[in-house]
Amino acid sequence: MSREKKLILNTIILGFGTVLPKIATFLILPILTSYLTKIEYGTYDLVITSLSFILPIITLQIEQATFRFLIDIDTIKEKAKIVTTSSVYVIIVSLIMYLIGSIALNGFSFWSKQLILIFAVTNLLYKFILQINRGLKQLRIYSTMTLINSLLNVLMIILFVWKLRLGFMGLLISLNISIVLAIVFGLLYGGIQKYLLISSFNKYSLKEMLVYSIPLLPNSISWWIVGLSDRWIITTFLGLEYNALYAISNKIPNLFNLVYNNFNLAWQESASVSIKDDDINEYYSSIFEALYNFLVGAILLLITVSPVIFNVFIDSSYERAYYQMPILFSGVFFHSLGSFFGGIYVAFKKSSKVGKSAFLGAFINIVVNIIFVKKIGLYAASLSTLASYFVIVVYRIWDVRKFVTIKYNRLTIAISILLIITVSAINYINITKLNIMNFTIALIIALIINKKMIRNILKSLKAKRNSDN
């Protein structure tokens, strides 16, 4: 199977476990925005985003090293060494996190604190087991785990938040039940237990993995600064209700990440296994061109349908959140491009480069936030996010030239960015007739720039149908 076909296949497999479940999760937004107060929703968002900062720090990104080292290994003995060693480390740091959290979360009631701590530990284990299955090239197990977690979460929220009216506590219960059952599935069906042998624990392997993973930590911290610092600054200067508005304003733009994230998982593997190929420059260039066209088409369509999505799925009390979205759409677009180049860093094991570029973006984010939050409110958070992601992309484009040459169509890039800005501006006006025109234009553009990809997909489907006959 060619690299391109394998990349597409892996993207599709991962897509079933990431895109579809999270779209289903999006459907419960009306429940959360209707049956949680803004303070409760703001607190929930703050807990989730805070965990995205805490977990990488306490694990030192060992789960990323586990994935990266496993994909280069073929023997069961070596796999057991990596899985066992990293598992012992993760169990120890999980206990440490629980003890520290028990002291730190004094502001919550006893049961709320316990549910948050249990979710923190299970979330850590869940992410770790996912990466083991990725490293073992068990993408179907990986996808099924995320599918189980997401769909069960939807069902539990319907039960505990909507039916039983348990509010914030019901949401925490839902999160814990779904993630625990997903972990059980990943352990039982992933066959991980055969790689867990206490005799396989190896201090040298642990040191080697940490040498790889620790330089990735600045990257995670920096993405946290870009994402979570917005929340903390908004909460500090404007209050939890404004944080709820900002969290909701990110919901629809973040659907774009669902389009990209499953590709990015497959791309990291494909980029890594292709670095020794003679035509690596041509391969990376062709993937960038196809990906860029797809992302432009996807962002244009998502922007133009967002007024309908917002009106259907989000309570009217969050109306002010709508006006942050045009800026945030551009932000997630540049975030996806930055992640593409991050995959190249991962392939070449340039983990320190990932952190350096992300820290630069994080610095921009904090500065813009602090300077403007009192003057323009939520717009400061949206604009700082856009600015930081844009800076990261520009830096990485310049930096990756040192070890790989990617060709860019500068005219196409300039025109597409202008189109995104124009469509976003029309989206901001939010007049029905203009929205219909906006969608029509976006659809035509998306089809034109992706005609080659569409043609290839249709050819593949036709060939498959003929072979079946």
Q: What does the pLDDT look like over 26-53, one tens digit per residue? A: 778 888 888 998 889 888 888 887 887 7
pLDDT at 158 over 90: yes
Q: Which of 139, 174, 201 is the last residue of a domain?
A: 201
Number of domains in the chain: 2
- The vertex-9 CA angle with 6 and 10, nearest 5°, equals 85
Domain with 328, as residue range(s), is 216-464
Question: Do 2 and 121 share a domain, yes or no?
Answer: yes
Residue 208 lies in a domain: no
Residue 249 lies in a domain: yes
Q: Among 18-22, 116-120, 308-312, whose mean pLDDT is lowest?
A: 18-22
Give 21's pLDDT tier (boundaries 50, 70, 90): low
Quote the pLDDT of residue 147. 87
**Among residues 372, 335, 354, which one has the least CA distance to residue 255?**
335
Question: Identity (one letter) of the amino acid at 114?
Answer: Q
Pure H helices in 73-166: 76-104, 110-135, 139-157
pLDDT at 458 over 70: yes
Q: Which of 201, 235, 263 is the last residue of a domain?
A: 201
Residue 227 lies in a domain: yes
Q: Which of 144, 168, 201 is the last residue of a domain?
A: 201
What's the mean per-residue pLDDT of the chain? 85
Mean pLDDT of 232-255: 86
Q: Among 2-11, 174-183, 371-380, whose mean pLDDT is lowest?
A: 2-11
Question: Do 228 and 346 share a domain, yes or no?
Answer: yes
Q: Among 17-31, 198-212, 275-289, whose mean pLDDT is lowest?
A: 17-31
For residue 160, what are the CA distances in angstroms to 115, 263, 326, 403?
Answer: 14, 33, 33, 52
Quote the pLDDT of residue 361. 85
Quote the pLDDT of residue 383. 93
Question: Do 320 and 401 share a domain, yes or no?
Answer: yes
Give 280's pLDDT tier (boundaries 50, 70, 90): confident
Give 72's pLDDT tier (boundaries 50, 70, 90): confident
Terminal-to-terminal C-alpha distance of the chain: 22
Question: Do 166 and 230 share a domain, yes or no?
Answer: no
Residue 211 lies in a domain: no
Quote the pLDDT of residue 235. 85
Question: Do 191 and 337 share a domain, yes or no?
Answer: no
Q: What does the pLDDT look like over 301-346, one tens digit per residue? A: 989 999 998 888 888 888 889 989 988 989 989 988 988 888 888 7
Question: Do 284 and 183 share a domain, yes or no?
Answer: no
Question: Do 142 and 275 share a domain, yes or no?
Answer: no
Residue 469 lies in a domain: no
Q: What does the pLDDT look like over 348-364, one tens digit per residue? A: 777 677 778 878 888 89
Q: How far is CA 451 from the centre of its chain?
A: 27
Quote the pLDDT of residue 160. 96
**Among residues 253, 228, 380, 377, which one has the least CA distance to residue 314?**
253
Question: Do 239 and 197 share a domain, yes or no?
Answer: no
Quote the pLDDT of residue 240. 83
Residue 206 lies in a domain: no
Q: Among 176-185, 220-229, 447-456, whose mean pLDDT is lowest?
A: 220-229
Quote the pLDDT of residue 239. 87
- Higher-confidence position of 21 and 136: 136
pLDDT at 380 over 80: yes
Question: Do 2 and 67 share a domain, yes or no?
Answer: yes
Question: Do 261 and 385 share a domain, yes or no?
Answer: yes
Residue 52 lies in a domain: yes
Question: Do 191 and 248 share a domain, yes or no?
Answer: no
Residue 210 lies in a domain: no
Question: Identity (one letter) of the amino acid at 218?
Answer: P
Question: Do 365 and 439 share a domain, yes or no?
Answer: yes
